Amino acid sequence: MAAAGRGGVRVEGPERVVTCGAAGRAPLPFEPARSGGTLHLSTTSGATGAATTGNGTTMTAILDRIETTEGLDTTTTPHRLRTLTIAALLAVVVGAGSMLGGLAGAVYTWQQATAQGITTPDDAALAGVPVRGPLSMWAQSDIITYHQLESTEGLYYAQMEREIPAVDEAGEPVLDEAGEQAMVPNEARMSWMNATTLTTSLGLGILAYAVSAFAVVVGATLAALGVAVLRVRPLLS
């Protein structure tokens, strides 16, 4: 509520009083008590309902909005600090565990690949390289698939017949007891089973390295966040 009188401009709101003094008298100080609002003071000349201070400056008090915020506690309680500390410590512990787990996974994968003693062939993307890390595993898997497609004329397992007509050494059809064409399992199709087993194993090794790297990055992020919170905590108390 705002009122203009001989004593100046008086603005009242929830638990606050703002007074701009009349001529020759200094304005009274004010202090908001646990309440919020927006008070605009603008310097004008000859405004209606204004109060003139001793130095001749005209002040017009305009109260735009007052919102009562009773019960708002902006202080950090010991309970909140304790909860924040526990969360930060958990972040550090979980982050450290994630990093250790990721490193352990990468070391285990490296050791298992080393035990196989595989070296990429000369026509691989990475020629003559021991298969240890993810790049050499990819190169080995790629060249296996390349040679397998060459042997099956570009056909994959699902694109090939399960059985093919049997032929003798001269290339003549072999007949069964009923005089019909004898059928035998397609060996070229079956060779895809071995190739798929090898490429799948190599793919799992690559995936293991990727998961290990992800665990290390996430763990480092969590640990750094926890440490940062612990360093900032004294400023909140």
Whether 209 shows a pLDDT value over 90: the answer reads: yes
* Domain-located, residue 109: yes
Whether 107 shows a pLDDT value over 90: the answer reads: yes
In this predicted structure, what is the pLDDT of residue 167?
Answer: 80
Nearest residue to 101 (alpha-carbon basis) of 204, 224, 226, 216: 216
| Average pLDDT rounded to a whole number, residues 17-32 | 46
User: Do 63 and 172 fall into the same domain?
Assistant: no
User: Do 145 and 54 fall into the same domain?
Assistant: no
* Domain-located, residue 72: no
* Domain-located, residue 27: yes
Domain around 20: 2-67
More confident residue, 162 or 213: 213
The pTM for the full model equals: 0.62
Please give the angle made by the CA atoms of 89, 91 and 92, to the nearest 5 degrees.
65
Whether 1 shows a pLDDT value over 70: the answer reads: no
User: Do 11 and 40 fall into the same domain?
Assistant: yes
Hey, how many other C-beta atoms are within 10 angstroms of the C-beta on 51?
23
* Domain-located, residue 154: yes
User: Do 213 and 116 fall into the same domain?
Assistant: yes
User: Do 89 and 181 fall into the same domain?
Assistant: yes
The chain-wide mean pLDDT, for the chain, equals 77
Q: How confident is the model at residue 183 (pLDDT cuts 50, 70, 90)?
A: confident
Q: Which residues contact 175 (CB under 8 A, 6 or more apart)?
A: 181, 182
User: Do 94 and 55 fall into the same domain?
Assistant: no
Number of structural domains (the chain) is: 2
User: Do 89 and 198 fall into the same domain?
Assistant: yes
* Domain-located, residue 73: no
User: Do 123 and 59 fall into the same domain?
Assistant: no
* Domain-located, residue 58: yes
In this predicted structure, what is the pLDDT of residue 73?
Answer: 53
User: Do 109 and 222 fall into the same domain?
Assistant: yes
- pLDDT above 90 as % of the chain: 46
User: Do 50 and 107 fall into the same domain?
Assistant: no
At 47, which amino acid appears?
A: A
More confident residue, 54 or 219: 219
In this predicted structure, what is the pLDDT of residue 177?
Answer: 75
Final residue of a structural domain among 39, 67, 95: 67
Q: Which residues contact 105 (CB under 8 A, 6 or more apart)?
A: 208, 211, 212, 215
Final residue of a structural domain among 21, 42, 67: 67
* Domain-located, residue 215: yes
Final residue of a structural domain among 13, 32, 67: 67
Strands 36-44, 51-52: parallel, antiparallel or unpaired by DSSP? unpaired
Question: How does DSSP assign the chain, residue by residue?
Answer: -EEEETTEEEEEETTEEEEEE-TTSPPBP----S-EEEEEEEEESS-TT-EE-TTS-EEEEEEEEEE--TT---S--HHHHHHHHHHHHHHHHHHHHHHHHHHHHHHHHHHHHHHHT-B--TTSSSTT-BS-SHHHHHHHHHHHHHHHHHHTTT--GGGS-SEEE-B-TTSPBPB-TTSSBPEEE-HHHHHHHHHHHHHHHHHHHHHHHHHHHHHHHHHHHHHHHHHHHHHHHHHH-
Q: Which residues contact 218 (CB under 8 A, 6 or more apart)?
A: 95, 98
User: Do 83 and 181 fall into the same domain?
Assistant: yes
8 and 15 in contact (C-beta within 8 Å)? no
pLDDT digits (tens, 9 = 90+) for 69-106: 444 455 558 788 888 889 999 999 999 999 999 999 99
User: Do 12 and 96 fall into the same domain?
Assistant: no
